[in-house]
Amino acid sequence: MTRMPLKSLIATLVCLAGFAAAAPRQPNVVFIISDDHGWRDYGFMGHADVRTPHIDRLAKEGLTLTRGYVPTSLCRPSLASIMTGLYPHQHKITGNDPKGDAKDAANREQMVKVFQESKTIAGMLGAKGYVSHQSGKWWEGECRCGGFTECMTHGDVSRGGRHGDEGLKIGRQTMQPVFDFIDQSKGKPFFLWYAPFLPHTPHNPPERLLAKYRRPGLDLSISKYYAMIEWLDETVGQLREHLEKRGLADDTIIAYMADNGWVQLPGGGTLAESRAKLSPYDAGVRTPLILWAPKQIRPARDDRSLASTVDLATTILPMCDIKPRDEMPGINLLDARVRSRRDSIFGAIFVHTSEDIRRPEANVKYRWMIRGSQKLIVPHGANERLLIWENTPKVPWMLGRTELFDLAADPGETRDLAGERPETVRSLLAVLDRWWNPARP
Ligand SMILES: [Ca+2]
C-alpha cells in the first residue's frame, strides 16, 4: 500500500471538509393535498367528464402511483399520517373532534397536545434549515405547533379555530399568502403545505366553471362537485406557474394526494350513505399519489404497486438528506425494486368523534388490509356499539361483519367472498393482526 505524504493527506482532508460544507442544495418540498376527492375523478385516471389538465400534467411528468391509499378515510387522522409518516395507531390522532364540547378550547387543546408528541416532517426539515408555510386544512391548533415557521391558521377556538380557519381561504379566495411565502424564502429551502378546502363542501364553484358541467341528464350536485375539482386543478396550475416564474421548479419536489375519497350522490345524498369518506372501502381510502421533481424523478406510471401516504416521509426525507426515523413504517417509493417487493398495505377506520383521545383501540371501528388484489375488512367487535358518525345511528354500508373482496375482478367491492374463502380470510387476518391488533395494543 502506498503511503500518502502528510501534506497530501492534509490537503485531502481540507478538501473533503470543504466538500462537506458545500452540501448539495436541498430541494424545496411542496405537498398538495386535495380534500374529499374521489380516486377516479381526474383526467389522468380516466374520468370521462372531469377536467384536471394541470394535475394530469404533473402525473405525466412525475412518478404516478395509481394504487395509492391513505390509512384512514377521515381528514384529521389522514393529514396527521401525511405529516408524521406514522399510522393513526402510532400518532394516536384518530378522530376529527374530541368527545363532549368540541368548541371548548381546553378540550380541543388536549387533542392537539397528543399530536405534538410526534415529530412532523415540517419540524424535521426545519431542523435542517428549511422555512415552511402552512395553508389550508390544519387541525392541530396554532400551526407553528406542527413545526411550521409561517402559517395562515391561528387555531384559536374562540375565533372559529378547528380545522384551518384563516387557512381555508387559500385556493378559494386567494393564492397570495403562498406566493408571498415563496418569494420571501428565496435562497432558503422551503416546505409548503398546500391543503386547500377543495373540492370539499360547500360545493360552490364559480359559475364560469360550473357552466362547463351543467347539462341535462347530469344532476346539479354532481356538476358542482366536478366544477369544484376543476377549481382545485386551476390552483395547482397557478402554484406551478409561480414556481416556474421564480425559476424554482427545477429545485422543487411536489407530492400530490387526496386526504380521503368522496362519492357525490345525486341530489346531494348524505355522507353516511356514500360508502366513501370514513368508510374502509376504496371509495374512502384510495387516492392516486404523484411524486414530481423534474431533476430527480423520472416520469413513470405504476398501476400495480401498493403505495400509502405513510410512504411520503420515507420517500421525501432522504431526498432532503434526512434519515427517516426508525418508527416510520413506510418505504422509499422511488425505488422500483422496493415497491415491487411490498405485497401488503394496511389501515384502520375510527369514530369521527373520539371516545378516548389517547387510546386508538377505544375508537377503532374497522381494520383493513390489501395483499395483491385481495382486500380484507374486519370490524372491531369490542366497539360495535359506538356510532361512527355522531348522531347517525343508521349507516347503510356498515354491515358489522368481516368482508373479503377481489379488487382486480371487483373494484367496486360489491361481491363479498369471505364466506367462500375462509382460508384466505384466516391467513390475511393473521397478517393484519401482526400489523396492529387493537385487542392487544
Ligand atoms: Ca377530507
Q: pLDDT tens, 317-370?
A: 999 999 999 999 999 999 999 999 999 999 999 999 999 999 999 999 999 999
Query: Could you give the percent of the chain with pLDDT greater than 70?
Result: 94
- Distance, CA 1 to ligand 1 centroid (Å)? 63
* pLDDT of res. 272: 85
- Strands, sheet with 374-379, edge to edge from the N-terminal-most edge strand: 344-350, 364-371, 374-379, 403-406
Find the 97 Cα to ligand 1 centroid distance in Å: 14
What band does 268 get if pLDDT is binned at 50, 70 and 90? confident
The rounded Å distance from CA 53 to ligand 1 centre is 22
CA–CA separation, 350 vs 354, rounded Å? 8
The residues near 234 (Cβ < 8 Å, ≥ 6 apart) are 54, 209
Ligand 1 center from residue 37 Cα (angstroms): 8
Q: How high is the pLDDT of residue 101?
A: 87
Distance CA 197, CA 203 (A): 10
343 CA from centroid of ligand 1 (Å): 27
C-alpha cell at 241: 406557474
Task: Give domain limits for the chain.
Answer: 24-335
Q: How many CA atoms lie within 13 A of 39 on its CB side?
A: 24
Q: Is the pLDDT of residue 68 over 70?
A: yes
Q: State how far the alpha carbon of 353 is from the alpha carbons of 58, 138, 167, in Å.
A: 36, 17, 23
The H-or-E segment that residue 366 falls in is strand 364-371
**The domain defined by 24-335 carries CATH number 3.90.550.10:** no
Residue 387 is predicted with a pLDDT of: 95
Q: What is the 3-state secondary structure (H, E, C) of 21-59?
A: HCCCCCCEEEEEEECCCCCCCCCCCCCCCCCCHHHHHHH
Task: Say what the pTM is.
Answer: 0.94
Rounded to the nearest angstrom, the distance between the alpha carbon of 75 and the centre of ligand 1 is 4
Q: Say if residue 89's pLDDT is above 50.
A: yes
219: left (phi over 0), alpha (psi -120 to 50) or beta: beta
Residue 432 above 50 pLDDT? yes
Residue 68's H or E segment, with its range, is strand 68-69
How far, in Å, from the CA of 420 to the mean position of ligand 1?
35
267 — pLDDT class (breaks 50, 70, 90): confident
- On the question of pLDDT at 19 being above 80, the answer is no
Q: Does the pLDDT at position 401 exceed 90?
A: yes
Q: Collapsing DSSP states into helix, strand and coil, what is residue 17?
A: helix
* pLDDT digit string, tens, across residues 100-127: 888 899 999 999 999 999 999 999 999 9
Cα(401) to ligand 1 centroid in Å equals 26
Note the pLDDT of residue 15: 36
Q: In angstroms, rounded to a whole number, what is the distance separating the alpha carbons of residues 311 and 294?
A: 20
Q: How far apart are the C-alpha atoms of 351 and 389, rounded to whole Å?
A: 7
- Our separate counts of H helices and E strands in the chain read 13, 16
Give me the pLDDT at residue 146, please: 87
How confident is the model over 141-170, as pLDDT tens digits? 987 878 999 999 999 999 999 999 999 999
For residue 390, pLDDT beyond 90: no
Here the cell at position 322 is 434526512
pLDDT in tens, 221-232: 999 999 999 999
pLDDT at 257 over 80: yes
Planar angle of CA 423, 425, 427, nearest 5 degrees: 70
Residue environment code for 356-395, b if the CB has 16+ CB neighbours within 10 A, otherwise e: ebeebbbbbbbbbbbbeebbbbbbbeebeebbbbeeeeeb
Confidence class of residue 20 from pLDDT cuts 50, 70 and 90? very low
Per-residue pLDDT tens over the stretch 196-218? 999 999 999 999 999 999 999 99
Distance (Å) from CA 260 to ligand 1 centroid = 5
- pLDDT at residue 381 is higher than 60: yes
The alpha carbon of 291 and the centre of ligand 1 are apart by a number of angstroms equal to 20
- Indicate the range of 143-147, 290-294, 300-304, 310-314 predicted with least confidence: 143-147
What's the 85 CA to ligand 1 centre distance in angstroms?
17
Q: Are 163 and 138 in contact, with CB atoms under 8 Å apart?
A: yes
What is the model's pLDDT at position 269? 75
User: Is there a contact between 403 and 421 (Cβ–Cβ < 8 Å)?
Assistant: no
Mean pLDDT for the chain overall: 93
Going edge to edge, which strands form the sheet with 190-195?
150-151, 131-136, 190-195, 28-34, 252-258, 289-292, 63-65, 300-302
CA nearest neighbour of 350 among 95, 123, 171, 144: 95
Write out the three cell numbers for 64: 404516478
Give me the percent of the chain exceeding a pLDDT of 90: 88
Å from CA of 68 to ligand 1 middle: 16
pLDDT beyond 50 at 17: no
CA atoms of 121 and 130, how far apart (whole Å): 11
Distance 211 CA to ligand 1 centre (A): 25
Is cis: bond before 53, omega within 30 of 0? no
